[in-house]
């Protein structure tokens, strides 16, 4: 089949079919996720933390995102690829944001772009959508603005902030976003927002009432040992298995147990004999 489209994603919402989304940053993660049947792959700026080793997503550049999106696009054929707009590439300057979004689509091969922000960014979303670029919005805890929130904290628990998140959700929908990520939003509020919207909501730390869920590849597989977010479920401890395998490899090299004759290649003994005689 061809790649999933925004029409397929919106159809999932109308049929009450839950939407699974997984991050992918390289050929290995993209191939595995697509083979597992996951329809949407997010090339997230979280690569700054789980791939590049930073403590936040802020250092990630547009060129970084284009590079990683190219890889994911190259090795997949069915997945809908979401390209994340990194820090300060999606602002209220619609012209500049449109130019950056176009690069992520044209050079990176993204199926759509994702950008953070609610009401204030809605006019920019409208301009991008009018230009023919599909947009996935992102509200609630927006990691690129984490400094303003005082850390990775749940958003919308008080009445004023809850009202603002509902207004943000409605604004991005009216601007033309085909979907919206709800991050670290209380489950009851995320459920209410989902009920009020016609577009799919993709939750991360927002409960089961959302239209779908997105998780970080490294979190669900135990490949990131910095911390385990409450919103994730570790489905395997692949990191521990890898460490054990590499420890055993290191020990075998040191003891001479690896490589064996079975790991090498033979040649005509007369060639070696001839070389030895020449020496």
What are the catalytic residues?
183
Q: Output the six-digit token pair for 61.
A: 């550049």
Q: Output the six-digit token pair for 15.
A: 């049929």
Q: Output the six-digit token pair for 68.
A: 């990683």
Which 3 state secondary structure label does DSSP give 187? Answer: helix
In 10 A of CB 210, how many CB atoms? 24
**Cβ proximity of 73 and 80 under 8 Å:** no
To which H or E segment does residue 115 belong? Answer: strand 112-116
**Cβ proximity of 155 and 203 under 8 Å:** no
For 196: left if phi > 0, alpha if psi spans -120 to 50, otherwise beta; the answer is alpha
């Amino acid at each position: 089949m061809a790649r999933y489209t925004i029409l397929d994603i919106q159809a999932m919402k109308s049929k009450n079919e839950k939407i699974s989304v997984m991050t992918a940053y390289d050929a290995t993660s993209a191939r595995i996720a697509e083979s597992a049947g996951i329809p949407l792959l997010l090339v997230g700026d979280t690569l700054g933390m789980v791939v590049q080793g930073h403590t936040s997503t802020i250092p990630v550049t547009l060129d970084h995102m284009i590079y990683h999106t190219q890889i994911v696009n190259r090795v997949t054929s069915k997945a809908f690829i979401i390209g994340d707009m990194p820090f300060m590439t999606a602002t209220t300057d619609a012209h500049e944001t449109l130019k950056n979004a176009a690069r992520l689509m044209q050079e990176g091969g993204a199926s759509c772009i994702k950008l953070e922000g609610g009401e204030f960014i809605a006019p920019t979303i409208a301009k991008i959508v009018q230009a023919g670029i599909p947009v996935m919005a992102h509200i609630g805890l927006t990691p690129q603005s984490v400094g303003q929130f005082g850390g990775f904290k749940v958003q919308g628990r008080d009445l004023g902030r809850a009202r603002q998140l509902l207004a943000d959700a409605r604004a991005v929908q009216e601007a033309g976003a085909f979907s919206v990520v709800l991050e670290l939003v209380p489950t009851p509020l995320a459920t209410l927002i989902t009920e009020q919207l016609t577009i799919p909501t993709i939750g991360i730390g927002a409960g089961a009432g959302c239209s779908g869920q997105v998780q970080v590849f490294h979190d669900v597989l135990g490949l990131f040992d910095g911390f385990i977010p409450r919103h994730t479920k570790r489905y395997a401890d692949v990191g521990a298995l890898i460490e054990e395998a590499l420890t055993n490899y290191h020990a075998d090299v040191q003891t001479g147990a690896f490589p064996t004759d079975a790991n090498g290649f033979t040649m005509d003994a007369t060639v070696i004999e001839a070389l030895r005689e020449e020496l």
